[in-house]
């Protein structure tokens, strides 16, 4: 006999910590549906995210380097998959709901605009006085409104706990805001894990892309970034001399392992100290319980500053991205003046949400390459990556 949802829920009750978010305790969905037969509610959510159009578009959206500038450089999609993997690992170690943590991680960047955070900044400026733009809030718009796959409702109709994780998702890049329906001081531990896994992933793997592109060097990292120097020393001690690619990979893997160990050990200590007995008690805590220890936080801040100075604002990365985001501004003005060109589904939203929001939704949903193609079609301008 196939394993049923009820059996899966019972396994959660038997194996997870009491302060985990159990799928059987979900607050439900905005639109009532029959429960899944052989999946938990969060497994259904995960599958809906993976099968969404917004998820597929992440393949062609910038992580750090302009999309298409390197076959091995990360995109928003590969970043998302890495966040999901780390989220599952941390959640499993802490005896939390791996399906919920993974689902929030998979959905956390659905609302990202083309050209990464620089694109987000441009859209936020263009939408000033019109409701603004912030990619976490836009992720919610996508799963609640913009995806059009089901006959009886708009959006993906995800569970309350997944949407809570998206509403409260924020990292060092983000500017979180309150949203109707999600007023608790904190979110579930699973959502907190997705937040921190995001930071672990982009710091560690941006190092990898920076080295692969030649914009960063191991020598300079060893001299200026203690996280790298410590990991490199451990790798050399254990393996001796390695080929360049293998040495870089193992060093970055070591950094990730150290980050995860610190999160798991420190979070377990904080959870036990807080004495929480349920997921809802977690939500009442003034500060997140999933976080790095004080020393690791200092080391990560040092790494962050180094990456900003030497990678994110390196002219090779920064200048093509700046040229690219100018296209967003030009297309925004063009589509405001020519709304018939924003596509049928976007045009239908003009009456409900207004012209500015409909144009913003249309642009935010574009991939990097589609922005470039539209710019070339309309203005005859072809963007060069460097």
144: buried, middle or exposed (CB in 10 Å: 19+, 13-18, 0-12)? middle
60, two tokens = 């062609």
Is residue 332 in some structural domain? no
Is residue 333 in some structural domain? no
Is residue 359 in some structural domain? no
Is residue 346 in some structural domain? no
Distance between CA atoms of 20 and 18, rounded to whole angstroms?
A: 6
Domain count for the chain, please give it: 1
Question: At 62, phi and psi to the nearest 5?
Answer: -65, 135
Of 15-24, 76-85, 149-158, where does the model show the most confidence? 15-24
Is residue 25 in some structural domain? no
| Least-confidence region, from 11-25, 175-189, 219-233, 257-271 | 175-189
Quote the pLDDT of residue 179: 53
Is residue 36 in some structural domain? no
C-alpha separations of 78 from 71, 125, 259, 353 in Å: 12, 28, 19, 32
Residues in contact with 17: Cβ distance below 8 Å, sequence separation at least 6, in sequence order: 94, 95, 96, 271
Is residue 80 in some structural domain? yes
Enclosing domain of residue 302: 41-318
127, two tokens = 């939408």
What digits encode the pLDDT tens for the residues 20-76? Answer: 999 999 999 999 999 999 999 999 999 999 999 999 999 888 666 555 555 556 688
Rounded to 10 degrees, what is the CA torsion of 16, 18, 24, 26? -120
Residues in contact with 74: Cβ distance below 8 Å, sequence separation at least 6, in sequence order: 63, 64, 65, 82, 205, 206, 208, 209
Flag whether pLDDT at 180 surpasses 60: no
Is residue 103 in some structural domain? yes
Quote the pLDDT of residue 72: 54
CATH number at residue 64: 1.10.3210.10
Distance between CA atoms of 259 and 121, rounded to whole angstroms?
A: 29
Token pair 């899966």 is found at 8
Range 3-9 contact pairs with CB under 8 angstroms and sequence separation of 24 or more: 3/38, 4/37, 4/38, 5/35, 5/36, 5/37, 5/38, 5/39, 5/40, 5/41, 8/39, 8/40, 8/43, 9/40
Flag whether pLDDT at 170 surpasses 60: no
What digits encode the pLDDT tens for the residues 81-126? Answer: 999 999 999 999 999 999 999 999 999 999 988 887 888 889 999 9
Flag whether pLDDT at 143 surpasses 60: yes
Quote the pLDDT of residue 344: 85
What digits encode the pLDDT tens for the residues 198-257? Answer: 999 988 888 988 898 888 999 999 999 999 999 999 999 999 999 999 999 999 999 999
Quote the pLDDT of residue 258: 96
Flag whether pLDDT at 145 surpasses 80: yes
C-alpha separations of 48 from 22, 81, 147, 168 in Å: 19, 15, 10, 20
């Amino acid at each position: 006999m196939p394993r049923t949802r009820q059996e899966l829920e019972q396994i959660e009750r038997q194996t997870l910590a009491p302060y985990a978010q159990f799928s059987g305790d979900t607050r439900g969905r905005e639109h009532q549906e029959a429960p899944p037969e052989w999946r938990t509610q969060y497994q259904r959510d995960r599958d809906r995210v993976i099968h969404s159009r917004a998820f597929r578009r992440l393949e062609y959206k910038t992580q750090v380097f302009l999309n298409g500038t390197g076959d091995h450089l990360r995109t928003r999609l590969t970043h998302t998959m890495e966040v999901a993997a780390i989220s599952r690992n941390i959640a499993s170690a802490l005896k939390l709901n791996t399906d919920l943590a993974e689902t929030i991680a998979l959905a956390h960047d659905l609302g990202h605009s083309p050209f990464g955070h620089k694109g987000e900044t441009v859209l936020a400026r263009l939408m000033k006085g019109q409701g603004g733009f912030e990619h976490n809030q836009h992720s919610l718009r996508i799963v609640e409104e913009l995806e059009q796959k089901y006959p009886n409702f708009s959006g993906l109709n995800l569970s309350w706990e997944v949407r809570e994780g998206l509403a409260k998702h924020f990292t060092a890049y983000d500017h979180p805001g309150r949203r109707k329906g999600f007023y608790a001081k904190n979110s579930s531990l699973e959502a907190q894990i997705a937040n921190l896994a995001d930071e672990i992933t982009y710091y560690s793997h941006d190092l990898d892309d920076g080295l692969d592109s030649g914009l960063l060097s191991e020598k300079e990292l060893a001299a200026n970034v203690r996280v790298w120097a410590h990991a490199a020393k451990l790798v050399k001690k254990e393996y001796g001399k390695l080929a360049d690619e293998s040495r870089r990979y193992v060093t970055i893997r070591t950094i990730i392992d150290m980050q995860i160990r610190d999160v798991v050990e420190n979070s377990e200590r904080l959870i036990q100290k807080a004495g929480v007995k349920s997921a809802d008690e977690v939500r009442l805590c003034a500060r997140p319980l999933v976080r790095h220890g004080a020393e690791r936080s200092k080391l990560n801040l040092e790494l962050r500053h180094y990456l900003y100075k030497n990678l994110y604002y390196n002219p090779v990365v920064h200048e093509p991205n700046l040229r690219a985001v100018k296209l967003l501004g030009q297309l925004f003005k063009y589509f405001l003046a020519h709304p018939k060109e924003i596509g049928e589904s976007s045009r239908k939203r003009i009456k409900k949400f207004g012209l500015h929001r409909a144009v913003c939704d249309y642009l935010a949903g574009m991939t990097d390459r589609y922005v470039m193609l539209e710019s070339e079609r309309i203005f005859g301008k072809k963007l060069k990556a460097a």
